[in-house]
Every structure is written in C-alpha cells, then in structure tokens.
C-alpha cells in the first residue's frame, strides 16, 4: 500500500462512512462515525481533494450482501456516471466484510477509473500480485473477525440468559427496567427487568380474552389501542405485536431465547402455566399448519355455539355457520326482516356430491341440544366427587402399573445376583475348581444378560406408562376444577365464552341426518361424564 500523501490534484472525493451500531453513530465505540469522518476529511485536505458527497451507512458489512446495500449501489452508480474520482474510507473493512466480494467491488471501482484511499491504510491498489493478495487476505481477515465477533456476542448473550440476567434491549410490554446500582467493567450502569404492574394487568387480559372468549390478535390489538395504550416504541399495537406477547414464555418467568434456557425467575411471572399452555394450544390450532386438527373457532364472531369443532358425521367435512335474511311485508305495508342461522356442510356447500349428507341444520335446534347437554353435565358435577371419580378411572390402572414396575425391579435384582455368581464361577474354571466348562458358563452368562436387557426394557416401558398416567391424572384433577367453575358461570356467560367452554369440553362434535349429535369428550373431563364417544 502507498501512503495517501501524493501529488495534490483537484480531484472530486466521496466519503463512505459505515457504522454497525448506535454506539458508533454517537461516538461511543472503537470506530465511531465522528472519528471516521474527521480522519477521512483530513485525508482530503492533505491531498487538496474536494468532497462532493458523504455516504453514511448503518448496515452490517458482514451480514448483508454487498450488492444489496443501498450505499454500495449508490457509490457504484456515481462511479459509472463519472461523478467522482476518489473514494475515501476509514479502513478497508468499512467497504465490507464479505471476503472475495469486497475485493471484487474494489476491482470494479478501479476499472471505472476510481482511486480508493483508506485513512489508515493508504491507497488501495490491485496493480500487482502482492497488492491483490494483500487486499484479498485483508478482506478474508475482516470476514473471519466478524464471524468471531458474532460467536463471542452469541456466547456472551447465552451466558447472560442462562444466569438469569437482563440481556438488554427494549423490554416486552408488561415489563420495565430499573437500575441495580452495579457498574459494569465498561462503566455502564447495570439494569434488571421488573414487572410493570400497570401494563401487567392488560397482559393478563390478553391471555384471558384469548382463552375465555376466543378473541383474535387483531381484536386484542384494537382493545389495547382503544384503551389508549401504545407499544414501548410509541406505535399502535398490531396483530404481530399481540402474537409476540402471547407466544413469549417470559410471562411465565422464563426469559428464554431460541438458543439458551434461562433460570426461572418467579418475580417475572405474570401468567400461570395452565393459561399460557392453553393459549399456545389455541394459537397452534388456528395456524395453517394445524388446520386439520383445529377444534376452536378462527373467530369468535357469530351467534352459533359451535364453530371450529363441528363436523359432518357422514363425509367428515367441516360444518360452518351461515345465515340468511328474508323479508316479509304485512298487509299494512310494514316490512319485517328475518334472519335464519344454519350449520352448513362444507362439501354440500361447495357442490361436492356426497351420499346421506344433510346440507343444512337450523343452528337454534343444534345449539339447544348442545346447551342442554352441557348444562346437564355441569349440573351433575357436584354428584361426582373428585377423588371418587379419579380413583374409579385411574386407581386400578395405577395399581397395575405400579405392580409391573416392582415386579421388573425384583426380576432385575435376581438376574443381577445370578450374573454375579456366573462371573465368579468363570474365575473358578480358570483355577480348575469348577464342575462346569468355560463354554457352559459363557452360554449361561449370555442368556442371563439377554434376560437382563429384556427386564430393563420392561421396567423402562412400565415406568414411562406410569408417568404418562400420572400426567393424565393431574390433567383430570385440573379438569374437575374447570368443570366446577364452568357450572357456576355457564348460564350467565357470553356467547363467546360459551363457545370456548364447549370447544374445550368437546374437541369434536358430529352432526348427522335427523339432527343427531355425537360428541367427543376431552379426556380431562371423562371421569366426571356419562357420555359415550
């Protein structure tokens, strides 16, 4: 590289200043924008060049393709239009950190008659093998350094998260930051994340409105906006903001990331686990990926009680709510409007020929049957004591699996003792004090080892089945609490709330000719119901 001090000429210069962070813009890092501009301006003054343009950029020179960066495209366009003679940069890595791509861009500018000067490295040329190798290696080193920085930042972030510390950035809605009084090595005040109780109230409302009323993300965004609330950036809430809130485990006290699991922090909990998991289930079902398994409505609009979980028993197609309006004029000339609500088989509605399918059902009649069914179940819940119902359903199976576990453990113990005796007997063969041959003992030992493997597999399977049954029992215990709560609120609940209760109680409802209704019961509620699937 040659020094930038050359014969002064009245050349036109363009400065390229690139920063990657706000700290660099503000002059608080090792390569701040003010420093870059001052050094590049000095180079121009020393050489008598006139600065015709200054191109600022804040995009990463490593993450972004060079020819997708607006700053690079602008410089290339100016060069092709012969608008300047010299490009002045702070360092070569300010052009980019993409290895060979950076070298290719430098070669392109030089071919257009543009000289390139670095304030710290002098003029950048490609007029010899040595200069080409130097520029290429310099670009590859910059790329490698960016990769190493990325790794160090990710590892530092992972360490911060895993130790339960605040990793920085704007806090999620429902939280705020406060100073800890601790000063970091870089002289900055350390902050911690705490619950913002004013916002936490609305976070709880978002989750309960999703679970209890089936509200969609757009409805929830409008709810917050109408309350005069705004995001932490001062913008109106959008559906994607709500989705980020509803999907974030931080609200259960887990400040996890995609690459690191944080320590549980009870002081950060806003939402209980059951509500959070039910919310995830509803959001999953509403996604296109799980459209076939969906048992909740995509929207809580409409007056029908069934939506999302109702199917045609004959063809298996979804049944959806529909309504039509008719008019009737009396002799006096008065016009009356009548709205009829129906459930329509999707196959029949789209003209698909199916045998035995009833094309439509009056929703009032179907809803009446569902309503009475639910009320009957909830009215009888008091007659099904929790412990009695659970023991009746799970007692015998838990006892059976517990016996299987104990039996497998006893068998393993006996086989282990037998293996020890056979191993000891092999030692006796070696000193000529055994009545068995070496082959006999090895055959017997192989048979015992096979029996041990089978017993271990049996024990593992029995324990897994017992654990699953225990999890199912806990879900049933939770189900009892839900049913008793629903029994108190169902009659006075809104249509939206009734829809969500019915969808959770009956994941699948099938309709067939003659207004026959068949329901599939959520397993968590089966011990308390007398309905056959």
CATH number of the domain encompassing residue 70: 3.40.50.1390
50 shares a domain with 154: yes
| Residue 279: half-sphere exposure toward Cβ, Cα within 13 Å | 27
113 shares a domain with 241: no
Separation between Cα atoms, residue 516 and residue 78, nearest integer Å: 76
Question: Three-state secondary structure along 115-147?
Answer: EEEECCCEEECCCCHHHHHHHHHHHHHHHHHHH
Q: Which of 363, 379, 395 is the endpoint of a domain?
A: 379
Higher pLDDT, 300 or 106: 106
Model pLDDT for residues 298-353, shown as the tens digit of each residue: 667 778 888 888 999 988 889 888 888 888 777 787 878 888 889 999 888 787 87
The answer, yes or no, to whether residue 85 has pLDDT greater than 90, is: yes
The answer, yes or no, to whether residue 138 has pLDDT greater than 80, is: no
276 shares a domain with 225: yes
Which of these, 64, 250, 261, 273, lies nearest to 169 by C-alpha position?
250
Which of these, 460, 461, 454, 442, lies nearest to 415 by C-alpha position?
454
What confidence score (pLDDT) does residue 350 get?
80
Model pLDDT for residues 9-38, shown as the tens digit of each residue: 579 999 988 875 544 444 444 456 778 888
Task: Output the CA torsion sign for 437, 440, 443, 446.
Answer: negative
27 shares a domain with 111: yes
Average pLDDT over residues 158-187: 71
Q: Is pTM, for the whole model, over 0.75? A: no
Per the domain annotation, does 5 fall within a domain? Answer: no
The answer, yes or no, to whether residue 532 has pLDDT greater than 50, is: no
| Residue 68: half-sphere exposure toward Cβ, Cα within 13 Å | 8
The answer, yes or no, to whether residue 380 has pLDDT greater than 80, is: no
DSSP E strands in 453-531: the ranges are 508-512, 516-520
155 shares a domain with 237: no
Per the domain annotation, does 7 fall within a domain? Answer: no
23 shares a domain with 147: yes
Give the total number of structural domains in the chain.
4
Separation between Cα atoms, residue 495 and residue 501, nearest integer Å: 10
156 shares a domain with 16: yes
Residue 97 CB neighbour total at 10 angstroms: 27
Q: Which of 248, 277, 293 is the endpoint of a domain?
A: 293
Cα 4 from chain centre: 52
Separation between Cα atoms, residue 506 and residue 522, nearest integer Å: 6
365 shares a domain with 396: no
DSSP conformation class of 392 = I
The answer, yes or no, to whether residue 111 has pLDDT greater than 50, is: yes
108 shares a domain with 45: yes
Separation between Cα atoms, residue 79 and residue 495, nearest integer Å: 67
Separation between Cα atoms, residue 45 and residue 281, nearest integer Å: 65
Helix axis angle for 100-111 and 129-162, nearest 10°, is 140
CATH number of domain containing 184 = 3.90.1750.20
Per the domain annotation, does 59 fall within a domain? Answer: yes
User: pLDDT over 70 for what percent of the chain?
Assistant: 76
Separation between Cα atoms, residue 251 and residue 266, nearest integer Å: 10
Per the domain annotation, does 277 fall within a domain? Answer: yes
What confidence score (pLDDT) does residue 27 get?
41
Model pLDDT for residues 496-525, shown as the tens digit of each residue: 899 999 988 898 999 999 999 999 988 777
400 shares a domain with 373: no
Separation between Cα atoms, residue 291 and residue 395, nearest integer Å: 36
404 shares a domain with 495: yes
Share the mean pLDDT of the chain. Answer: 80
Q: How confident is the model at residue 62 (pLDDT cuts 50, 70, 90)?
A: low
Model pLDDT for residues 265-286, shown as the tens digit of each residue: 888 999 999 899 999 988 988 8
Per the domain annotation, does 435 fall within a domain? Answer: yes
The answer, yes or no, to whether residue 1 has pLDDT greater than 50, is: no
Separation between Cα atoms, residue 194 and residue 176, nearest integer Å: 6
Separation between Cα atoms, residue 421 and residue 103, nearest integer Å: 74
Write out the residue range of the structural domain in which residue 217 sits.
178-293
What confidence score (pLDDT) does residue 238 get?
95
Model pLDDT for residues 392-429, shown as the tens digit of each residue: 556 667 777 788 888 888 998 998 888 888 888 887 77
Per the domain annotation, does 304 fall within a domain? Answer: no
Q: Which of 244, 273, 293 is the endpoint of a domain?
A: 293
If phi > 0 it is left, if psi is from -120 to 50 it is alpha, else beta; for residue 266 that is alpha
CA distances from 166 to 81, 162, 183 (A): 50, 10, 14
For the CA atoms of the chain, what is the radius of gyration? 36
What confidence score (pLDDT) does residue 529 get?
65
- Produce one character per residue of 433-465: b if its CB has 16 or more CB atoms within 10 Å, e if not: ebeeeeeebeebbeebeebbeebeebbeebeee
The answer, yes or no, to whether residue 161 has pLDDT greater than 90, is: no
216 shares a domain with 135: no
Q: Can you read off the two tokens belonging to residue 428?
A: 């006796």
Per the domain annotation, does 514 fall within a domain? Answer: no
The answer, yes or no, to whether residue 2 has pLDDT greater than 70, is: no
Separation between Cα atoms, residue 61 and residue 94, nearest integer Å: 7
295 within 8 A of 307, measured Cβ to Cβ: no
What confidence score (pLDDT) does residue 290 get?
62
- With tokens 């609940």, the residue in question is 493
What confidence score (pLDDT) does residue 28 get?
40
Separation between Cα atoms, residue 28 and residue 237, nearest integer Å: 33
CA distances from 252 to 166, 201, 247, 342 (A): 16, 14, 11, 41
Q: What does residue 98 show for φ and ψ, rounded to 5 degrees?
A: -115, 25
Instruction: Describe the chain by its helix, strand, coil percentages, rounded to 5.
Output: 55, 15, 30
* N-terminal to C-terminal alpha carbon distance within the chain: 83
Per the domain annotation, does 250 fall within a domain? Answer: yes
Residue 226 CB neighbour total at 10 angstroms: 9
């Amino acid at each position: 590289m040659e020094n930038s001090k050359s014969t002064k000429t009245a050349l036109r210069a363009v400065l390229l200043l690139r920063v990657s962070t706000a700290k660099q813009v503000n002059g608080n890092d090792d390569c701040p924008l003010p420093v870059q501009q001052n050094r590049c301006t000095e180079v121009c003054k020393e050489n008598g060049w006139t600065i015709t343009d200054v191109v600022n950029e804040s995009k990463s020179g490593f993450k972004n393709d060079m020819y997708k960066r607006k700053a690079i495209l602008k410089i290339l366009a100016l060069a092709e239009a012969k608008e300047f003679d010299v490009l002045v940069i702070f360092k070569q890595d300010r052009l980019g950190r993409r290895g060979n791509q950076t070298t290719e861009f430098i070669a392109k500018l030089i071919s257009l008659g543009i000289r390139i000067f670095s304030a710290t490295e002098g003029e950048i040329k490609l007029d010899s093998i040595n200069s080409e190798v130097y520029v290429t290696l310099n670009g590859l080193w910059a790329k490698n350094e960016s990769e190493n920085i990325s790794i160090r930042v990710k590892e530092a972030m992972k360490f911060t998260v895993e130790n339960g510390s605040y990793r920085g950035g704007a806090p999620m809605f429902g939280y705020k930051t406060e100073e800890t009084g601790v000063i970091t090595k870089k002289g900055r005040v350390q902050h911690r994340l705490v619950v913002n109780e004013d916002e936490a109230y609305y976070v709880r409302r978002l989750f309960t409105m999703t679970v209890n009323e089936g509200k969609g993300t757009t409805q929830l965004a409008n709810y917050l906006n109408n309350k005069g609330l705004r995001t932490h950036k001062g913008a109106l809430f959008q559906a994607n903001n709500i989705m980020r809130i509803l999907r974030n485990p931080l609200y259960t006290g887990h400040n996890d990331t995609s690459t690191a699991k944080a320590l549980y922090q009870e002081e950060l909990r806003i939402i209980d686990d059951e509500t959070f998991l039910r919310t995830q289930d509803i959001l999953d079902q509403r996604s296109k990926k799980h459209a076939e398994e969906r048992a909740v409505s995509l929207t809580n609009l409409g007056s029908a009680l069934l939506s999302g979980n109702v199917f045609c028993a004959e063809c298996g197609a979804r049944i959806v709510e529909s309504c039509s309006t008719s008019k009737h004029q009396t002799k006096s000339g008065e016009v009356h409007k009548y709205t009829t609500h129906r459930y329509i088989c999707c196959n029949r509605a789209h003209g698909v020929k199916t045998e035995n399918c009833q094309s439509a059902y009056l929703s009032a009649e179907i809803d009446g049957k569902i309503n009475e069914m639910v009320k009957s179940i909830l009215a009888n819940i008091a007659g099904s004591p929790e412990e009695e119902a659970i023991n009746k359903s799970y007692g015998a199976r838990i006892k059976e699996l517990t016996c299987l576990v104990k039996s497998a453990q006893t068998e393993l113990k006996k086989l282990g003792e037998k293996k020890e005796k056979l191993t000891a007997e092999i030692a006796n063969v070696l000193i000529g004090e055994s009545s068995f041959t070496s082959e006999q003992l090895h055959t017997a030992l192989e048979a015992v080892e096979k029996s041990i493997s089978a017993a271990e597999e049996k024990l593992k399977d029995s324990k897994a089945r017992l654990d699953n049954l225990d999890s199912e029992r806990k879900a049933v215990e939770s189900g009892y609490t839900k049913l008793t709560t629903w029994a108190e609120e169902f009659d006075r609940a809104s249509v939206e709330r009734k829809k969500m209760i019915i969808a959770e109680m009956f994941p699948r409802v099938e309709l067939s000719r003659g207004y026959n209704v068949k329901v599939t019961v959520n397993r968590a509620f089966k011990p308390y119901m007398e309905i056959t699937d």
